[in-house]
Chain A
Amino acid sequence: MEYFLELSSSGLVRGSIYALIALGYTMVYGIIQLINFAHGEIYMIGAFVALIVSGVLTIYGFSGVSILILAALIAAIYAAAYGYTLEKIAYRPLRNAPRLSPLISAIGMSLFLQNYVLLAQTPDFLRFPALIPDFEFMEPIAHIMGSAELVILVTSAISMVGLTVLIKYTRIGKAMRATQQDMVMARLVGVNVDNVISVTFIIGSVLAAIGGVLVGSYIGQINFYIGFMAGVKAFTAAVLGGIGNVPGAVLGALVLGLTEAYAAGYISSAYEDVFAFGVLVLILILRPSGLLGKAVKQKV
């Protein structure tokens, strides 16, 4: 039983990171039907910026929680800036292009950003400082769930609630939903669609950056390549839950994280990814538009 709890905790932590990244995929997809392949790189850049900021702040004598907050804040700002610029350069000119063109552009951008960080910084792995302190009260169950894991779960939960509130109750959230339903119609009733798309990229990027900072300080290391695998997994999670659907992305991410943890724990960690993709295929066979995705009626 304890073993089961241990694996569940590990799966939930993984799942909530996937969820933070998957939200970006799913929101962008919901609005412009684009698989933003470079989204994983935004997560990586977020982590890098946080690393650099915390390094500089440590050297200049800041300490503890102030570093964590400042680093996360600046990382989020930069991730947002990168997401915004990415959309403007690589996707906006392709708004009316054939469906595969933006996908190729995204793959190109992903390569570009990876190599940009590699050249500007380093090809090596870097140590990411443990920004999250060890809480005393978590000590008795540290072998099941540590402080960093708790922080990850809580932060992701808060971010997701925040996102839901934003989408449900704010003006921009309404505009986003309108654009998602019908871009032309939204434009006709006075929604500035370009702005909505930019905001979507910015929100997705901020969430990814939060994920990057959390993972960095949980795992303790980053390099320019971490975005790729995380991106693929998060994308899988988004599709699993029904791409374009916000709660679906979270559910899909948790299912994926737990599947991986149980597969690694009870069967074999060498085949972890096989089970992850296996679950995806299985669910899509049973429900072709994902767990919570609505089956879109096709019209001729």
Chain B
Amino acid sequence: MRKTVLKKLILVALLSMVVPATGFAADTIKVGVAGPHTGDLAPYGIPTKEAAEMVAAQVNAAGGVLGMQVEVMPMDDQCKPEIATNAATKLVSQGVDVVIGHVCSGATKAALGIYKEANIIAVSPSATNPPLTQSGDYPNFYRTIAPDDDQGKLAAEFATNKLGAKKIAILHDKGDYGKGFADFSKHFVEAGGKAEVVLFEGVTPGAMDYSAVIQKVRREGADAVIFGGYHPEASKLIGQMNKKRMKIPFIGPDGVKGDGFLEIAGKDAEGVYATGPMDVSSLPVNQKAKADYIEKYGKEPGTFFDQGYAAMQVILKAIEASGGTEYAGLEKALKGNFVDTAVGRIKFDAKGDAEGVGFSVFQVQDGKFVELK
């Protein structure tokens, strides 16, 4: 008898600790924003978080969505799969309605199963790995950025057709994103048959310098470099290429095409090509987002800010259009309605890729990325 009472007491005590964690829904719309907010990849996660918070603040100031306030729940995953699953289960157990994220493709893969199980839609601003949508494994996944294979094709065609390169060196940062882009570029260069890939090699991010690799590119007699990776490595490479007096075209992916690259590479950036989401800086929505950001933080927004901003916009619009956060309704709204966002007027196709976003080639001219028509 006494024992059962004791057990009950323990149960009650344990339960009382747990209840606050589970929380109650309905009065707010909970948007989880998952990505790397600490650690070395934090620069790719924080802009999305800031974008989501800014959109939420604006919407809330204007009375919220469907009369409900939007609550942003940032969740750090450090781009690590095991922490991403923790973050995902935490969001699910806190009764999140939709998720913006994750940022890295690897972490996204790890987390998506959990969201799928819980019938939660995830919109990633940056996970460009093609199978995420194309495999059909993750029907709850959407992204406001185009997949990598489009970009690789564009870069390869640009190098061979427009620049007339015959010998192409392809470098990558060994990461999921950079290596993926490099693989697709290689595939399309070889498929095009107009040029050969003379060097295909990974460099180590965080290595002190890349001069040895650059000498290798020179020795192979490459007349163009395609690089898969992010802007810190790209600017390091381009800076050292200039130091080594090597002047051949350099083409990077959208991880390079951003103000971050211009800031870090400085005048070395001149003449660099990069593929990237079509120029949207003339869109009023985008201009306003940027202006708001600069006003609030006093600096240019970081990588994937536009995409994060757009992800938040489409998801809130979809909630408004479907009148709630039900999975089926949201799915219909996301795939059915065009929305004006910071990356343009978009809706999603059957697989979850955004229609209306695409890539074009840019070149740095006078310290700015200019779209090449």
A residues with a Cβ closer than 8 A to B are 3, 6-7, 9-11, 13-14, 17-18, 115, 118, 123-127, 142-143, 146, 148, 215, 218-221, 223, 225-226, 228-230, 233, 260-262, 264-265, 268-270, 272-273
Contacts and interface: CB of A to CB of B under 8 A. Distances in A.
A17 B208 contact: yes
Contact of A124 (B43, B212, B219, B265): B43
Contact of A127 (B213, B264, B302): B264
8 contacts: A127-B265, A223-B43, A225-B40, A228-B206, A261-B211, A261-B212, A268-B202, A272-B207
Contacts of B40: 223, 225
A35 to B, nearest CB: 20
B216 A269 contact: yes
A146 B42 CA distance: 33
Contacts of A226: 206
B209 A219 contact: yes
A265 B46 CA distance: 36
Contacts of B232: 125, 221, 223
B30 interface: no
A38 B45 CA distance: 26
Contacts of B260: 124-125
Interface string B339-350: 000000000000
Contact of B209 (A118, A123, A125, A218): A218
Given A123-B43, A142-B245, A270 B264 contact: no
A142 B219 contact: no
Given A220-B235, A221-B264, A268-B202, 16 more contacts: A6-B215, A9-B211, A14-B209, A115-B38, A126-B264, A143-B218, A220-B239, A220-B265, A220-B268, A261-B211, A261-B212, A265-B215, A269-B201, A269-B210, A270-B201, A272-B207
A6 B218 CA distance: 11
Given A146-B243, A225-B206, A269-B202, A220 B266 contact: yes
Nearest to A144: B244
Interface in B165-192: 174
A242 B327 CA distance: 63
Residue among A125, A215, A233, A261 with max Cβ neighbours from chain B (10 Å): A125
B265 to A, nearest CB: 8
How large, as a class, is the contact surface on chain B? 35 or more
**Contact residues of A: prevailing secondary structure:** helix
Interface in B147-166: none
* 3 closest Cβ pairs, A-B complex: A270-B202, A264-B212, A10-B211
Contact of B42 (A3, A118, A260, A261): A118
Contact of B243 (A11, A148, A260, A261): A148
Nearest to B244: A143
Contact of A10 (B203, B215, B302): B215
A107 B219 CA distance: 41
B283 interface: no
Contact of B236 (A220, A261, A270, A273): A220
A268 B201 contact: yes
Contacts of B211: 6, 9-10, 13, 261
B263 interface: yes
B22 interface: no
Contacts of B43: 123-125, 223
A34 to B, nearest CB: 24
A172 B130 CA distance: 62
B287 interface: no
Interface in B210-259: 210-213, 215-216, 218-219, 231-232, 235-236, 239-240, 243-246
B212 A269 contact: yes
A77 B229 CA distance: 36
Contact of A13 (B206, B209, B263): B209
Contacts of A125: 43, 231-232, 235, 260, 264
B199 to A, nearest CB: 10
Contacts of A269: 201-204, 210, 212-213, 216
A125 B46 CA distance: 13
A270 B205 CA distance: 10
A96 to B, nearest CB: 34
Contacts of A230: 208
A17 B209 CA distance: 11
A225 B78 CA distance: 14
A7 B235 contact: no
Contacts of A219: 208-209, 236, 239-240
Nearest to B240: A219
Contacts of B204: 269-270, 272-273
A229 B40 CA distance: 12
A268 B102 CA distance: 32
Contact of A229 (B202, B207, B302): B207
Contact of B219 (A3, A10, A270): A3
A127 B266 CA distance: 8
A55 to B, nearest CB: 13
Nearest to B262: A127
A189 to B, nearest CB: 42
Contacts of A142: 243-245
Given A118-B42, A220-B236, A270 B212 contact: no
B245 A11 contact: no
A226 to B, nearest CB: 7
Contacts of B207: 229, 272-273
A11 B212 contact: yes
Contacts of B246: 143
A17 B207 CA distance: 12
Contacts of A261: 211-212
A3 B215 contact: yes
A261 B38 CA distance: 32
Nearest to A265: B212
Nearest to A146: B243
Contacts of B240: 219
